[in-house]
Structure formats: C-alpha cells, structure tokens
Amino acid sequence: MSFQDIIGHNDVKNEIINSIGCGRFAHAHIISGEDGIGKSLIAKEAACKLLNKEPGREYADIIEFRLLKNKKSIGVDEIKSIIEEINTKPYEGDKKVIIIHNADSMTVEAQNAFLKTVEEPPKGIFILLLCEKVENLLDTIKSRCQIYKLHHLHKKDMEKFLLKKYSNLNKDELNSIAIISDCIPGKAEMFIEDSNLKDIRNLTMDILKNIMNKDIDIFIYEEALLKYKSYWEETLTWFLSYIRDTLIYKETANNNLIINVDKIGNIKSLSEIFSFTQLNDIIDIIKDTRLKLESNVNAALVFDSMLLKMQEV
C-alpha cells in the first residue's frame, strides 16, 4: 500500500510527502487520532518514503514498539530499550525510523526519560509517536514534535473504503456501516469481520424490545452481557444508536434519518413501546453504566443495575 492507496487524510499525507521531498521532515512527529483511524498506515508509509523503500514490506530500519501484553503503560524500562535502539546505527542505510504505538500510555517518568532523545536524536533517526489522546503527552514532548491530527473520514471516502475492501455490500449496508463506525475504517472492519459484534447488536435490540415486558425475567440477559463484557463499549454504543433512531423516528417518522435502516421494523416497534421521557431516561441509565464500567465496578453488578433500572423507567 502506498500513500495514494490510503483513503482520506489528504492534508496530512500531502504535508508529509512534501516535507520529505524537500528534506524538511522533522526528526520527531506525533500522529494522533482514534483507534482504527489509520495512524499505523500513515506512519509506515512515511517510514518507507523516508528510507526510499517499496511500501508493504518489512525492513530492518523500520522498528516498531508496542505496548507489552498485560501492561497498561509504557514505563521507564521500556523507554530505555527504545533509546538503546535509537542509539544503534541503521542496519542497511543511513536512516532509521522508530514507530512507537500507544505513545500516550507512556508514564510521566517514561516521558521525562525520553525527552532528551526526542529533542535531539542521533543523525538520520526519525521518531513517530502514535497516540489516541495527545493530551496525555507532556507539553515538553509535544513542543519538540510536529503534530498531525487524523480526523474521521468524510462519508464518501468511508463508502469508497468499504466498497474497495468489501465489494459485496449494498447501498443500505454501506450507509449503515459508515454511520455506525463513525466513519472510522478500523471500526468498520471490526464490525464486518467480528461475528461477536453482530451478536451484540442483535442482543441489545432484543433487550430493548423485551425490557418493558413484566412477564420476562430480565436477568436472563445478564449472562449474555457478561459473555461480551470485553465489548462493553460497543454494547452501550448499540443501545444508544437504537435509542437515537427511536427518538428521531418518533419525532419525524422519516426512515431516511435512521442509522440502523436494516432494523427499521424494530425501530418502529420501539417508538410505540417507549415515550420520549422513557427514552431519555434510558440514555441517562446507559451513561451512568458507562461511568461505572470505566471505573472498573464489577460488571455483573453494573449490568444487573442497568437492566433493573431500564425495566423501571
């Protein structure tokens, strides 16, 4: 894949291409954006262009560092290892590119230990820091880097990406997936290729359809929610997506404004089941659920509370 094959982010791509072509590419860069937005693709293409190598292959002078498994942060020990690699001469030519994924997970101590190297790496060494939350990086680190912010794709670019990779999608599927994924390619790929997400999507609709039925034991859904607890963010997103569609349909009765167009029959049913007040109450319940799960409260207790509160709206 070359820069031309990466869909979207034209301003960032052009700036990188021009600065490399003019010999003005800085020694340290930050590429920020949400997970799945394309940070790695752009970093690797920039690295290949810097080394004058064909894209799509592995090279000894493109070194990638990732967050270690079962670790939530990059500590001083990991940074020492990165600095040691940075101070090692290139293997093939006179340039080397260091790509650090999840750079925003560096501890403050690690960032301080890395500061001098970011400020003044050896000649021919380029450092690319990839992160979701640039605000987690120290100002002293940011001030020494060229910063690129990757934004969500435009809807037409997103549909172009989907058609290129999944040519069998029809118009309604393209529209739904583009909106559902928030025009983030990686999220769209995960939704299409991960069957768990389709199961979660169906589960959340089933819960909403039956939550007001007093004859159903709502806690039968606890086991299913816990089965997918590692997907809790996606689970809550689906709930909110359906509630959003239901509110809009109740207000406008316009099918064209619905995100989940393939579920329009279910959306119409939900609009008859719930009042505006109840739908807004459910939104508040889901927001509260999110805060508790982010705070690592026991998932079983959180989901039980969520289901009970939904039934009582």
pLDDT at residue 217 in the model: 84
pLDDT per residue as tens digits for the range 38-50: 999 999 999 999 9
pLDDT at residue 173 in the model: 81
Integer CA distances (angstroms), 305 to 161, 243, 312, in order: 40, 19, 11
pLDDT at residue 174 in the model: 85
Model confidence at 245: pLDDT above 80: yes
Residue among 307, 115, 84 nearest 212 (CA): 307
The answer to whether domain 3-149 has CATH 2.70.98.10 is no
Alpha carbons 259 and 242: distance in angstroms, whole number: 8
For the ranges 28-32, 96-100, 135-139, 153-157, the lowest mean pLDDT is seen at 153-157
Model confidence at 71: pLDDT above 90: no
Element (H, E) at 301: helix 299-312
pLDDT at residue 235 in the model: 93
Model confidence at 1: pLDDT above 70: no
Q: What mean pLDDT do residues 168-189 have?
A: 86
For the ranges 55-59, 85-89, 168-172, 229-233, the lowest mean pLDDT is seen at 168-172
Specify the DSSP class assigned to residue 106: B
pLDDT at residue 289 in the model: 96
Residues 6+ apart with CB under 8 A from 3: 13, 16, 17, 42, 45, 49
Residue among 262, 251, 313, 249 nearest 286 (CA): 313
pLDDT at residue 145 in the model: 97
Fold of the domain spanning 194-312: Zinc Finger, Delta Prime; domain 3 (1.20.272)
Q: What mean pLDDT do residues 194-210 have?
A: 92
Band of pLDDT at residue 182, cut at 50, 70 and 90? confident
Model confidence at 3: pLDDT above 80: no
Tokens 């060494």 belong to residue: 125
pLDDT per residue as tens digits for the range 262-305: 899 999 999 999 999 999 999 999 999 999 999 989 999 999 99
Q: What mean pLDDT do residues 161-166 have?
A: 92
| Beta bridge partners of residue 98, listed in sequence order | 63, 127
Token pair in block for residue 49: 């262009």
Band of pLDDT at residue 225, cut at 50, 70 and 90? very high
| Beta bridge partners of residue 147, listed in sequence order | 30
| Beta bridge partners of residue 251, listed in sequence order | none
Query: What's the distance, CA 36 to chain centroid?
Result: 5
More confident residue, 142 or 3: 142
Element (H, E) at 180: helix 171-180
Domain extent listing, the chain: 3-149, 194-312
Instruction: Supply the pTM of this predicted model.
Output: 0.79
Alpha carbons 76 and 111: distance in angstroms, whole number: 8
Model confidence at 4: pLDDT above 80: no
Percent of the chain scored above 90 by pLDDT? 77
